[in-house]
Amino acid sequence: MTRRPVAVSNWKMAMTIAESLAWVRDFQAAAGDLLDVVDVIVCPPFTALWATAQASRGSRIQLAGQNMAPTTDPARMGEISAKLLIDVGCQRVVLGHWEVRRHLGDDDDIVNRKVRLALEAGLAPMLLVGEGRDEKAPLPDVLQRRLERVLDGCRAEQVETMILTYEPEGAIGMAAPASPEQAAAGCGFIREWIRERWGNTVADHVRLMYGGSVAPEYAADLLSSPDVDGLGATRRGRNPEAFAEIVRQVARMGLGQSE
């Protein structure tokens, strides 16, 4: 079956409000009708969510939070809830990112708690899974263990709404991404694991991405596997012209075109 391709720009702790507004303007000019073909999702810092939502109103750009609290308690200090992300205009939320795991102490159980709270609130998770730098077990063993934990308690129809990203920690912040073969192996395993757990319909509908040091010059090769439905970019994602070129490559993949 044909899955709608997807491209994600994660700005992390960059982009002022003025820079975010300029990005939306310049990206839409560079992308043109690519937004009719590809689901484009941007992940601004929390301070720029509202401004980005207003600037992209009426367009096909979707908004995602970079993280959320593992609780609905409004007394929780210094965090943001699923309810508040929805209120500011988010349709999705990124969960399980390696930097949140390392810097904020999230483990698989906390990620699972966030996944379930997001789903209950009506936010679609963008769930990152992959192997850590210090994990020596074979890739299938690592991914199976992680998927079992972070998706525990989720129903088939919920999984189908998610976007799962294969992102090995060792590929973050590097000069080049993981090899196309590694990206294909990671996404391929995730899809087959979902197939065994929830059946063909969910496995054939759920969208899988690769993330980790994505740049335009690597995009076509990373997208060569039929299991890779899109790409996530950070450094190049903050450049509207570079990200538009990544989206163009994703659109070519979705339309079955080559260079």
Please write the tens of the pLDDT for every residue from 153-186: 999 999 999 999 999 999 999 999 999 999 999 9
Contacts for 126 with CB less than 8 Å, ≥ 6 apart = 8, 41, 64, 92, 93, 94, 95, 162, 163, 164, 165
Q: Where are the domains of the chain?
A: 6-254
Q: 248 pLDDT exceeds 80?
A: yes
The set of catalytic residues is: 97, 167
Classify the C-alpha dihedral 196-197-199-201 as positive or negative: negative
CB atoms within 10 A of CB 18: 10
pLDDT confidence of residue 2:
82
Name the band, by pLDDT with cuts 50, 70 and 90, for residue 203: very high
Instruction: Give the mean model confidence (pLDDT) for residues 84-105.
Output: 97
Alpha-carbon distances of 29 from 18, 192, 209, 224, rounded to whole Å: 17, 38, 25, 27
| Chain centre distance of CA 26 | 22
pLDDT in tens, 212-239: 999 999 999 999 999 999 999 999 999 9
**CATH annotation of 6-254:** 3.20.20.70
Q: Contact 226/199 with Cβ under 8 angstroms?
A: no
Q: Contact 8/43 with Cβ under 8 angstroms?
A: yes
* pTM, two decimal places: 0.96
pLDDT confidence of residue 254:
79
